[in-house]
Each structure stands twice: as structure tokens, then as C-alpha cells.
Structure 1
Amino acid sequence: MDSSGSTVLYLSRQLRERASGARESLFSLENLKADGKQLRFYTGFSSYERFTAFLDFVMGDPALCAARLRGGSSEAVVAAGPQTTLSREDQLFLVLIRLRLGLLLQDLAYRFRVSESTVSRLWLSWTELIHARLMQMPIMYSPKYVDAFHPKRAVLHQGVPLVLLECTDLHFEVPSR
């Protein structure tokens, strides 16, 4: 009984060591956040602080997040096996990698060790959330930009200034045959 108990302890210790080694080799933001060059390559953000500021902005509207992002707690939503989960940071990291590098869903599934359907679901929900949050920001053009594209011709019609725009609408019809 003593020898079997020590064998069980030995095997459980080896299993824990292998599991921790596997976590360290995972492709995740946690493993890349210290390296600014790699973070910039994968996400476009020059530092981890900027990445987290963007994540905080995107997650700033709890009602919108609850509607767009399905899942449980705020930290672990997506299960990719019995013990592996993707944090919100890794979910956004996955989406930004696809936006920046154009990687295939299958490639991202391999890298993050989740199913392809999970990557697809994350992609759709996060892009909808990012789009909804960015649409809430007002866009202010610089005066230099406005002056560069300001129409060159204005006409007064009954005391009201009218601006003439040059617009072209092309319509192509293709025969159904």
C-alpha cells in the first residue's frame, strides 16, 4: 500500500509538471506581452498597456458586452478541453491577430488549442462588439483635411449657399445568361 501510494504521488507530480510545461508553451498573450516587438507584430499595439487600454474601452459597456459576447464569467468563457480556457485578453488577441495577419480560422484554432467553431464564434462576436463600440465614437476631422476636400464651387440660390458636388454613380448590369 505504501509503494502504490508513493507511485500515485510520483505520477501526479509528473502530470502537474507536464501540465505546467504545456501551459508555458501555449500561444497566448501572457507569453508574448513582455516582448513589444512580437506584440506589435501580432496586434499592432506597441505595448501591453495600450492593448489593455483598448480591451478596457471595448469592454466598457457591460450591457453591450453581455449582448455580444456569449459565455460565463468575465475571465473564462471559451472551453477548449477539460481544463483549458481562453481569457478575454486571449480572445481579443486572437481576433486582432486575424485582423492584422489574416490567419485562417484553422491556423488560429491550432495555435490557441481550441476548436475551429470556437474561433469562428469568437471572431463573429468580437468583431460585432468592436464595431459597435467604435461606432459610438464621434469622428472629428482636422481642419487641414476638411480644407483639402472642401468643394471648390459654391452658388447662392435665393440667399442660401449651395455646394456643388461632383458625384458619379456607375451602374453595371450583367445579363443573366
Structure 2
Amino acid sequence: MIEDLPMYMDELIVHHEVVVDQSSTSMSTSMPEEMCSTAEKEIQCDIPTLGRFSIEGMKLDTKMLSYYTGLNGYDHFMLLFNILGPAAFDLNYKCGLLSPQDQLFLTLMKLRQAKEDVELAMLFKVCESTVSKIVTTWINFLYFQLKELEEQFWPSKDIIKEHMPTDFAKKFPNTRVILDATEQPIHKPSNVEAQSKTWSSYKHKNTLKTMVGVTPNGAVSYVSSTYGGSVSDRQIIEHSTLLDVGKFDAGDSIMADRGILVQDLFANQNVFINTPTFLKGKSQLDPEEIVRDRRVTSKRIHVERVIGLAKRFKILKHELPMSKIPLASRIVYICFMLSNFRNCIVDKSA
């Protein structure tokens, strides 16, 4: 199991030299002042100066703010910031050059666009080591603040039913959560044992694996800890909080992929695991089983769509460097829970 833990760039100045020969000089001096001014205006162009990035500077540019953070605009950003509470102004690491809002902005840029520290240092005009400290501090802060909302992210059975899409409610009314595993690539570890534990036979590379759960209407309700890519889906669930007493009500149903074989783990809670049918020695499925499996697949796709949405945070798609492995569980958790700060992607009639 991967345990949870907690440059200065000189400004580039380009000097332009203008070489003018004698003939051009004499010509320019003979031109009337108003003509010279008009000519200069025709050939001059404004070269914009790139100032320090800030959330205030992006306030009116909704498109770019969405590109850098995944949020819908400035109001959306401030909603997230205010949810984090006043503790954002009193973190252990304080950067006097950037406001807490800009530190959050920088961190979201790191997660959303997987930008290198050196680029963020240039954009925010701070040193590279400062960027690293800000990102580490805010990943830990975001994780713990969002973790406090975990009970709200896991809605009650009544709330699930109230917001369940109509067609889903007709076919699978007892579904509490839809589960699926997702993997994130990492740099190949130098340690042989770590290579073995993180090797994914499915992805054919070194990865970290996480179990994700969404409600029938597409809200992320569960994110497990992160494990090496060699771990099985069953092993993740065996060590998860999904087995905690009181997590499910009797009669609840979990929708999952065919490979998640955990019915025995939930049997004592009277929770049913709804997966596509195995052939079990048969050459083909019965027509009724085929129809049922298609229905399950059409609903289970919601979790795949949500995972795809979360992976728009490019840090989950790029190979995570070994220096960030201690923060892996928290990074994954943040990216998926931030996916809840957007409009629902599942239609009410789905």
C-alpha cells in the first residue's frame, strides 16, 4: 500500500540593437516630424508584458480560468476557496508573495495541467522551491478539508433515491454505489520490489490503483486509498471503509465490473453485488441474461464517465514522479472530489 504523507528563474531581458546606416539617417532627419510619427506608428507594435499570474487577473476570463483549474469561473473558484474555511489563511507554510487564493490557484494549475514547478515559478514570479512547498502544503490542506466532508459525499439511502435518474430507478432501484478501479502511471521505481508491487499486468506499466465509487446520478461518493498496480480489486475492498458497519443498509446493491468478486465480503450485511453474468462453463448466455447484462453495462458506464472527467486533471494521466508518490493517495482523492464541484453529467432520465 502506498501510504499517505504529508528556482529561482532570472527574468529574461532581451536587448534589441538597431543598426542604422548613414543614408537612412539622413533620410529620416529630412522627413517632416508629423510624417515620421505617422510612419513609426505604422511599423510599431505593442509587445505585451507578462505579469505575475493571479486569480484576480483571471477574474473576467472564464475560459482560461476553467482551462487552468477545471472550475466554471471566478465565482466557482471562490466557492471552493470559502468552503475550505479560514484555516487557509493560517497554514504552517506561509508565502508572503502570494495570497492564499493565488496559492490555491497555483495548486489547481499543478493538478489540472500537470505543469512543471519551473513553469509555475516563472508564471507566478517565485522561486521553484517555493512552488514545491506551496503545492505540498495545499495538497495536504485540500485533502484534510475535503476529507471532513466525506460523510456528505456519502449520501444516505433516502437522498440516493430522491436524486436517482428515472430509468435507473426502474431497473436497479436499490443501487447505492457504482464501483470501478482506476490506475495512474508512475515513473518506474529503481527498487526491484517496488517495481514488482506497482507493475500492472492490465496496463503493462508501473501504476498506482484506486477504487472509485459514484452514486447513480454521477456524484463521486467514495475514493479508496492508493495501492501499487499489482493489487487486486478484491484486496483494495478488503482494506477499505466500504466494509465498515453502517456504511450500507440491508437490501442495498453495489453495481460493479465483472472482475470485482466480493459478494462474500458483503453477504453478512445483506448487500448484493450486481455484476455482469459469468458464463460459468456455458458456451453462451441465456437471452434474459444478455438483456440484464446490457442494462447493467448501460448504467455502470456512469462511473467510467466520471473517471474520465476526473482524469482531465492531467496529473492523473502523466507519469507521477517518485518524489510525489508519498502524496499520491491525496492527489487522487482531491482530483476526484473536485469533480463534484461541477454540474451533474448524468441526465435525470438516464
Band the TM-score falls in, shorter-chain normalisation: 0.5 to 0.7
Aligned amino acid, residue 30 of structure 1: E
- Please state how far the C-alpha of 1:163 moved relative to its aligned partner: 6.1
Residue number in structure 2 paired with 1:104 = 116
Q: Map 1:31-70 onto structure 2 (within 5 A).
A: 31-58=57-84, 60=85, 62=87, 66=90, 68-70=91-93
CA gap 1:161/1:69 in 2 versus in 1, 3 angstroms:
closer
- Which of 123, 134, 154 in structure 2 is aligned with 1:140? 154
- Please state how far the C-alpha of 1:57 moved relative to its aligned partner: 1.2
CA gap 1:161/1:46 in 2 versus in 1, 3 angstroms:
closer
5+ unaligned residues in a row in structure 2: which ranges?
1-47, 162-174, 178-252, 257-261, 274-350
Q: Map 1:58-137 onto structure 2 (within 5 A).
A: 58=84, 60=85, 62=87, 66=90, 68-71=91-94, 77-78=95-96, 85-137=97-149
Aligned amino acid, residue 66 of structure 2: R
- 2 CA distance for matches of 1:123 and 1:91? 8
- Please state how far the C-alpha of 1:87 moved relative to its aligned partner: 1.1
More helix as a share of residues: 1
What fraction of aligned residue pairs are identical, expressed as a percent? 29
Higher relative contact order (CA 8 A, sep 6+): 2
SS of alignment partner, residue 76 of structure 2: helix
The answer as to whether partners of 1:69 and 1:126 remain within 8 angstroms in 2 is no
Q: What's the CA shift string for 1:38-58, capped at 9, x where partnerless? A: 110001110111101111111
Aligned amino acid, residue 106 of structure 1: V
Q: What's the CA shift string for 1:70-125, capped at 9, x where partnerless? A: 23xxxxx33xxxxxx21111110000000000001111001111000100110011
- Which of 17, 30, 34 in structure 1 is aligned with 2:56? 30
The answer as to whether partners of 2:89 and 2:100 remain within 8 angstroms in 1 is no
5+ unaligned residues in a row in structure 1: which ranges?
1-20, 72-76, 79-84, 166-177
- 1 CA distance for matches of 2:114 and 2:128? 15
The answer as to whether partners of 1:43 and 1:97 remain within 8 angstroms in 2 is yes
The answer as to whether partners of 1:105 and 1:119 remain within 8 angstroms in 2 is yes
Name the larger-Rg structure: 2
TM-score w.r.t. length of structure 1: 0.60
